[in-house]
Amino acid sequence: MARSAVFTGSGHPLALTSFEPPVPLGNEILVRITYCTLCRSDLHTYSGRRIEPMPTVLGHEILGRIAAFGPEASHTDFQGMGAIVGSRITWAVTAGCGECFFCRDDLPQKCEKPYKYGHVRVPLDLPLGGGLSEYILLKPGTFWFVLPDSIPDRIASPANCATATVAAILRYAGSTKNKNVLILGAGVLGVTACAMARSGEAKSVVAVDPSDSNRERALTFGATHVLAPDYERLVSQVTALTENRGADIVLELAGSAASAQASLSLARMGGVIIFAGTVSPTPPLSLDAEMVVRRMLNIRGVHNYHGIDLQNAIAFLAGPGQSYPFDSLIHSELPLERVEEAFAEAAAHPGMRVAVIP
Ligand SMILES: [Zn+2]
Ligand SMILES: [Zn+2]
């Protein structure tokens, strides 16, 4: 028998439920989960700030080993690497149908009928679908990857959430080589962006965050300068650090309306602004169209990612990412039976990850 921690609503303790792991059918792959980190969205659901279909098994930053292939499942990963029973893998949080307009238009993360691990309603007699479980069943259309041994679980776990999202953000932002990159928000996404931009040979990486400890940490992840978000002074501070032009690339990862508003004034003429931090309702911004026209701004939103971004994220963690202390983002590791404690610890340590080891 196997166990899952089933979530039935905020305020109800997670129920450890036993079930018989299923035999995978068709293209499905059964995975024995070895590691799952709690993400901010899991905390929001747990605390009731975000509503998901219930009952559900939370957790989408997941790693595991293949336990069984369905009879028609591919034995090669997204990049064509062979896998066997026992191979350690990670996979994209969203599985697309492969057939709808958005899947065919290369936006599988915006599939009309997506399957989102850690965000789906599960039957109580077979609670499979999230990371807070001993097993999970991968659906057809899931981009999955064999993980290189050089990336330990602690570092690989956020690959399919924070790291892949930042890889997508930077793919849309364009090359950071010799660019002045400004990063608003230095949480897990922000420090990952610092490290990736610096590895991409950015000229400067300026991280902005209200927390002293986040700013200090950003310096260890490749930020060349750190600033507190004093929005009155930020434009002049950034201008001074960017040859009086403003940033070539501005990444808004803080998700506050004030930060998003400020980003519009911090990019240089012809600069790129990516909005990726705002994933819950915030007051609207005031946007001066003439300013956008005359300053030739490129403004783009990025949400979730494509398989190619997860591939780039894994390559980064296995390569240049090794120079940065990604290990330090894990605050603690707890077994599945202490999952309640894991949520409490994660809530008490924002900007860090707490892991559950089923
Ligand atoms: Zn996540
Ligand atoms: Zn689709």
Distance 240 CA to ligand 1 centre (A): 35
CA nearest neighbour of 40 among 31, 49, 32: 49
Q: What is the pLDDT of residue 52?
A: 85
Please tell me the distance between residue 8's alpha carbon and the centre of ligand 2 in angstroms.
28
pLDDT of residue 280: 83
What pLDDT does residue 161 have? 95
CB atoms within 5 A of ion ligand 1 belong to 39, 161
* Distance between CA atoms of residues 169 and 171, nearest Å: 5
Q: 295: which 2 tokens?
A: 């300053």
Contacts of 288 (CB under 8 A, 6+ apart): none
Q: What HEC string does the chain produce?
A: CEEEEEECCCCCCCEEEEECCCCCCCCCEEEEEEEEECCHHHHHHHHCCCCCCCCECCCCEEEEEEEEECCCCCCECCCCCECCCCCEEEECCEECCCCCHHHHCCCHHHCCCCEECCCCECCCCCCCCCCCECEEEECCCCCEEECCCCCCHHHHHHHHCHHHHHHHHHHHHCCCCCCEEEEECCCHHHHHHHHHHHHCCCCEEEEECCCHHHHHHHHHCCCCEEECCCHHHHHHHHHHHCCCCCEEEEEECCCCHHHHHHHHHHEEEEEEEEECCCCCCCCCCCCCHHHHHHCCCEEEECCCCCHHHHHHHHHHHHCHHHHCCHHHHEEEEEEHHHHHHHHHHHHHCCCCEEEEEC
Q: Based on the number of CB atoms within 10 Å of its own CB, is 125 exposed (0-12), middle (13-18) or buried (19 or more)?
A: exposed
Q: Which ligand is nearest to the CA of 40?
A: 1
Give phi and psi for 311, each to the nearest 5: -60, -45
Residue 131 pLDDT:
97
Rounded to the nearest angstrom, the distance between the alpha carbon of 252 and the centre of ligand 2 is 28
Of the listed ligands, the closest to the CA of 114 is: 2
Q: Please state, in angstroms and rounded to a whole number, the distance separating the CA atoms of residues 39 and 346.
A: 8
Which ligand minimizes its atom distance to the CA of 100?
Answer: 2
**Rounded mean pLDDT for each run of 10 residues along the chain, 358 residues in total:** 95 94 97 96 90 93 97 97 98 94 94 94 94 97 95 95 97 98 96 98 98 97 97 95 97 96 97 94 94 97 96 97 96 97 95 94
Residues 6+ apart with CB under 8 A from 105: none
In this prediction, residue 103 carries a pLDDT of 94
Of all ligands present, the nearest one to the C-alpha of 92 is 1
Which ligand is nearest to the Cα of residue 118, counting in written order? 1
CA of 308 to the centre of ligand 1 (A): 18
The ligand placed nearest to the CA atom of residue 58 is 1
Distance (angstroms) between ligand 2 centre and the Cα of 75 equals 22
Residue 179 has a pLDDT of: 98
Between the CA of 137 and the centroid of ligand 2 the distance, in Å, is 19
- Indicate the burial class of 109 (C-beta count within 10 angstroms; 0-12, 13-18, 19 or more): buried
Give bridge partners of residue 88 from the DSSP assignment.
65
Looking at residue 335, its pLDDT comes to 97
Q: CA torsion sign, 139 to 140 to 141 to 142? A: positive
Quick one: which ligand is closest to 95's CA? Answer: 2
CB 59 within 8 A of CB 162: no
Mark 18-51 as b/e (b = at least 16 C-beta within 10 Å).
ebebeebeebbbbbbbebbbbbbbbbbbbeeebe
Nearest bound ligand to the CA of residue 37: 1
pTM: 0.95
Cα 96 to middle of ligand 2, angstroms: 5
Dist. CA 210–CA 63, nearest whole Å: 32
